[in-house]
Chains A and B, each alone.
Chain A
Amino acid sequence: MSTVFARIPLWRDVRVLRIGAQVLFVLFIVLIANWFYTNLQINLERTGIRFGFDFLWTTAGFGISEGLPFEPTDSYGYAFWVGIVNTLRVIGLGILLATLLGLIAGIARLSSNWLVRQIASVYIETIRNTPLVVQLFFWYTAIFLKLPRVDESIVLPGPIYLSQRGLALPKPYATETFSLWGYGLLVSLLVALAVYVGRRIYLERAQRPGFAGLWAFGVFVLGAFVGWLVLPGAPIAWEMPTLGRFNLEGGWQLSPEFAALLAGLVVYTGAFIAEIVRGGILAVPKGQTEAARALGLRPLQVLRLVVIPQALRVIVPPLTSQYLNLAKNSSLAVAIGYPDLFNVANTIINQSGRAIEMVLLIMISYLTMSLLTSAFMNWYNRRVRLIER
């Protein structure tokens, strides 16, 4: 036998070919990379820039209109950090609101009411088929900048002030009794944990299903509520925005850039999420609901125990990619001048000329965000996934 194998020529031996192909591939990549690198060296030498990240500690010399407090005397590195925090702010709020909107629109599209169904599909079809950046620009220049001046603000109940300067909402703040209430919360959390464990043990012994988590949650809420009532003053109060002579004061103020970016991202991503939600609900066969009803489950139980777990399994993977899209799309802030990480990095490049370093930093930031989000969603997906026997 061995003599037969020995006679296979080298150029037809699969093992050799495999290694040879990979060596060739690596050589090809290395050659291209080397060519790029030499060109880069020559080009950088000509412009007199040396690669390195020490410029991050030098003074920025420009201002950032919102986010963490930032002075022109602060460093480039800190400016970039302010940009990252601004991006995270938009992404966090955006994901929350887009999920909510998508859920509502997706369910509305399956409504038994014809008008509601039509409105939902018109919303989804128009928003999905136009570019996001056009929508963002529309929100910014055609809606938020066209709002009345501050002294003629539109006042919605709340009070929420809408004006050219953006949105002003009531802001919750902690009063002096808050720390006492916080201790109370801690205690009720511990009690709730004890209740949860006790309940689980009891249910295990009694061999019957039940809601241990719900009990614990109830105990926690009860503790929080009792604490609120017992304390002399409310631990959390609302700071209302007030209309000053020329400006709005106090409250939670959102710039028109932030508001436009948030609105654009939420409305756009919401339309995509709506389609996912609709698909997920439709993916649960009708027989499942009917079988659950036949077994004597109540309608809410059918929803909680049969429909939602199965719909989630279909919904979560595409939902993850929509969240990632929202995170990546937040970089379009540059079109309307919201100082997110891409926009700030762009300014830094214009000021310092350090294109390569900043582009590297931008890409690393987005990659980290993407990886973290998908890691979390994959963990969640494993929890809701079908576990087959």
Chain B
Amino acid sequence: MRLIFRWLRENLFSTWYNTLLTVLVIWFLWVAFSGLFQWAVRDAVWSGGAAACQQARQLAQAEGRSWGACWTVIPENLKLFLAGTYPAGELWRIWVCVYISAAMLGLSAGVWRGLVRDVVVALGAAALVLLVLPFSWTERLWMFGIVLALVVPLGLRWVARSRIPRVRWILGGGWLALPILVVWLIGGGGPLPKVESTQWGGLMLTVLLAVIGIVASFPLGVLLALGRQSTLPIVRWFSILYIEIVRGVPLITVIFMASLMLPLFLPGHLRIDQALRAMIAFTLFTAAYIAENVRGGLQSISRGQIEAAQALGLSHWLTTLFIVLPQALRAVIPANVGQFISLFKDTSLVFVAALLDLFNIGRSILANPQWLGTDREVLLFVAFVYWVFTYAMAHLSRRLETILGVGER
């Protein structure tokens, strides 16, 4: 009891102006939260579709009081939020993608342990939490599959480790192949029926754009960074020009350019669909930022490392490839995670290319007269989903920083 009082006195009422500040803040919070509670919880409609919201609103208007949130818009449109207008009969393909990714994560957790295992545990816990929410039983079954896909490979790890040599290399290759596999599964082709990219959407498209963007832009960014450090003047100036121009214009203009002008610069028979154009735009844009991050890493390598490599007789390229780059890239992993986070947020700009990602599918739901006036509910939900992802990644990045010991050596 005395401890509590001491804490209160030290943290809230240490001086007269702190006391005043505390009282003001508490009053402000009270006003804000009581209003929010009324709207978001007390008067809210949680189920029953658009008709229930309509009823509640009419009732409130008749009684002359304000009406609450219409949360039912979220479950009613959940499929749209998650997968857009993807054909319902093909939805299993997205689940398979999720399962494969989860299984890969589980396997990696077995092999690498450390941070990956924490990620697996967190994801498994998140999936279990989702199970508690009021989804239909089939959906719950699908979600339970995620937990299994995460946990089972973890148990297989002893088998994998003892029987297969170079399991890490195989896994690394698997991760590199994963985006291609996922794009094939979602887009179709071969035995699978084709699903046009205009039908991709929702959270799935957001994740896809962000992941493809970061994976594809990474090699380009490293090349640009090396080009900027090059002793060849033409290569250096070209890299600087590219990086500075791209960093000087808004992303929205790059997407705009890709979606509007790319077809003009390509021969008529080479048709690129909108999703691919957006991916190209994200890649070209992010590469310039990654190049700057990597340049920071390259500059942090001490001159002695290069001189030692040269003294050992390594050529320029071998020095770059085996001495400089591994150290530089390790130093810039957190910065690149930050880049990935902002790319993840920036995928919401694809409305310029007429794509329906998580945010823009929300906008299209708002345009539906049935859900008129649910702007706050939809936008808050969308923002919340983005927040969960980016906050988790930011947390991960901080952990990664401590594990890698960046800035401590």
Query: Assuming A42-B267, A371-B248, is B232 touching A131 (CB within 8 A)?
Result: no
Give the size category of A's interface with B. 35 or more
In the complex, A313 has a CB within 8 A of chain B? no
Q: How far is the CA of A370 from the CA of B234 in the complex (A)?
A: 24
Are B21's CB and A331's CB within 8 A?
no
Are A142's CB and B249's CB within 8 A?
no
Are B238's CB and A25's CB within 8 A?
yes
In the complex, B60 has a CB within 8 A of chain A? no
Nearest Cβ on chain B to A207's Cβ, whole angstroms: 40
> Contact partner of A367 among B245, B261, B351, CB < 8 A?
B245
> Contact partner of B250 among A21, A142, A349, A366, CB < 8 A?
A366
Query: Using a CB-CB cutoff of 8 Å, which residues 20-36 of chain B contact chain A?
Result: 21-22, 25-26, 29
In the complex, A282 has a CB within 8 A of chain B? no
B375 CB contacts on chain A under 8 angstroms? 138, 141-142, 146
In the complex, A332 has a CB within 8 A of chain B? yes
Closest to A21 in B: B232
Are A26's CB and B249's CB within 8 A?
no
Are B386's CB and A130's CB within 8 A?
yes
In the complex, A135 has a CB within 8 A of chain B? yes
Q: How far is the CA of A44 from the CA of B265 in the complex (A)?
A: 10
Q: How far is the CA of A51 from the CA of B279 in the complex (A)?
A: 28
Are B394's CB and A129's CB within 8 A?
yes
A335 CB contacts on chain B under 8 angstroms? 351
Are B249's CB and A112's CB within 8 A?
no
Closest to B18 in A: A113
Are A114's CB and B267's CB within 8 A?
no
Nearest Cβ on chain B to A13's Cβ, whole angstroms: 15
> Contact partner of B345 among A26, A29, A131, A142, CB < 8 A?
A131
In the complex, B319 has a CB within 8 A of chain A? no
Nearest Cβ on chain A to B283's Cβ, whole angstroms: 16
A359 CB contacts on chain B under 8 angstroms? 253, 256-257, 260-261
A126 CB contacts on chain B under 8 angstroms? 387
In the complex, B348 has a CB within 8 A of chain A? yes
Are A114's CB and B11's CB within 8 A?
yes
B12 CB contacts on chain A under 8 angstroms? 113-115
Q: How far is the CA of A138 from the CA of B386 in the complex (A)?
A: 14
Query: Assuming A39-B264, A113-B21, A142-B376, is B234 touching A25 (CB within 8 A)?
Result: yes
Q: How far is the CA of A112 from the CA of B386 in the complex (A)?
A: 31
Are A328's CB and B345's CB within 8 A?
no
B152 CB contacts on chain A under 8 angstroms? none
Are B366's CB and A141's CB within 8 A?
yes
B235 CB contacts on chain A under 8 angstroms? 21-22, 25
Q: How far is the CA of A138 from the CA of B380 in the complex (A)?
A: 8
A141 CB contacts on chain B under 8 angstroms? 366, 375, 379
B 229-251 to A, binary, CB cutoff 8 A, 1 in contact else 0: 00111110010000001011111
The 3 closest A-B pairs by CB, nearest first: A114-B11, A328-B250, A131-B345
CB within 8 Å of A: which residues of B? 11-12, 14, 18, 21-22, 25-26, 29, 231-235, 238, 245, 247-253, 256-257, 260-261, 263-268, 341, 345-346, 348-349, 351-352, 359, 363, 366, 375-376, 379-380, 382-383, 386-387, 390-391, 394
CB within 8 Å of B: which residues of A? 18, 21-22, 25-26, 29, 36, 39-40, 42-44, 46, 112-116, 119, 125-126, 129-135, 137-138, 141-142, 146, 324, 328-329, 331-332, 334-335, 342, 346, 349, 355-356, 359, 362-363, 366-367, 370-371
- 18 CB < 8 A contacts A-B: A22-B232, A22-B234, A36-B265, A39-B266, A115-B12, A115-B25, A125-B391, A130-B345, A132-B345, A133-B349, A134-B382, A138-B376, A146-B376, A329-B250, A331-B253, A334-B252, A342-B252, A356-B261
Question: Can you add 16 more A-B contacts, CB < 8 Å, to A25-B234, A335-B351?
Answer: A22-B234, A39-B265, A39-B267, A43-B264, A113-B14, A113-B21, A113-B22, A131-B346, A134-B383, A141-B379, A142-B379, A356-B264, A359-B260, A363-B249, A363-B253, A370-B247
